[in-house]
Amino acid sequence: MMTLDYPHRRFNPLTREWVLVSPHRARRPWLGQVEKTPGEDLPAYDPTCYLCPGNERAGGIKNPEYTSTFVFDNDFPAVLRPEQVEQNPAALPDSPLFAAKPEYGTARVVCFSPRHDLTLPELSQEQVEAVVRTWTEQTRELGARDYVRYVQVFENKGAMMGCSNPHPHSQIWAVSQVPNEPAKELAAQAEYLKEHGSCLLCDYLEEERRLGERVIAENGGFTALVPFWAVWPFEVMLVARRHSASLTDLTVSEVSFLADIIRRITARYDNLFEISFPYSMGFHQAPTDGGRYEGQHLHVHFYPPLLRSATVRKFMVGYEMLAMPQRDLTPETAAERLRGLSEQHYRLVKAA
């Protein structure tokens, strides 16, 4: 294992940014904020939940009695379709110092299943495959709209990550411009392809698999690893084994592989502190504007905030906000801990 036990910087080739790693700080005592342990006693159905089957949402809309995934337009969307916006170009600032442009889009919610109490690692392989197919179908449908250039699939899990409803669900925002983070990665991957004649993540994955020290799990379609440049304590990236740009490029078997690796990684997350592990997760894929993005390689980021226990989290403050990201726990140590965990969910073990 890499043994850089002194402060050092690591380069993220996907964003072309640096992260400060300070391994010695992992031994410091913690007297900061302690979070409440999230509750685990959710019912299978909650009559007050606006995402459960048959319940009423905003505006009197009633959910169907769905039995698999359920998709609907967000009742409180962050972006609006062009026809929903009363355009007033004269109101836009006429100065490069006050730049503003309209942003159009469609925001949707994807409920994973009718069960209010089951997250991704507790669903069956078939149920998670249905979720992946839904993400894929939504990417294809929304990406075909003339005002959409990028489809962002993501999940905020847990109140700690700002999730407003505990019913397991994800979101999809299809927007008219490529957002900041995917744009940085697209530019870096395009530049790498130009300079090296090969795919950045294909080359990176080959090296990570050869070394093995940051790889957590893999199957025939995807590899799960803690990135060399990880910022969050137990950050994980899922990388497609075959060079593919988007969810819509996956074969039937690769959809199964993706569902499998998601279930396995999220089970390890939950088993780490024996809680429903919070995180923000999202796919980075090619824009949907018909352009050629030969360097783009499909991958998934998991950004979980927990650091030492179920009640101690990592905060991005001070130096991180004003200078650059910093972490104490090395990616190699984080990978070793995650790799040593069972993929059988702790709640199933306790119930046996």
What is the signed CA dihedral for 223, 117, 154, 250, rounded to 10 degrees? 50
Q: Judging by DSSP bridges, how do beta strands 105-111 and 312-313 pair with one another?
A: unpaired
Torsion sign, CA atoms 352, 275, 259, 225:
negative
- 293, 242 contact by CB (below 8 A): no
Residue type, 140: R
- 18, 231 contact by CB (below 8 A): no
From 169, 297, 301, 345, the catalytic residue: 169
Residue 169 known to be catalytic: yes
- 303, 332 contact by CB (below 8 A): no
Residue type, 201: L
* Residue 151: HSE in the Cβ half-sphere, 13 Å Cα cutoff: 24
As given in the structure block, the two tokens for residue 288 are 């949907």
Q: How many residues does the chain have?
A: 352
Contacts of 292-295 spanning 24+ positions with Cβ under 8 A: 293/186, 293/189, 293/190, 293/245, 294/190, 294/193, 295/186, 295/189, 295/190, 295/191, 295/192, 295/193, 295/199, 295/200
Identify which of 268, 14, 255, 277 has the alpha carbon closest to the alpha carbon of residue 139: 255
User: Any idea which residues carry the catalytic annotation?
Assistant: 169
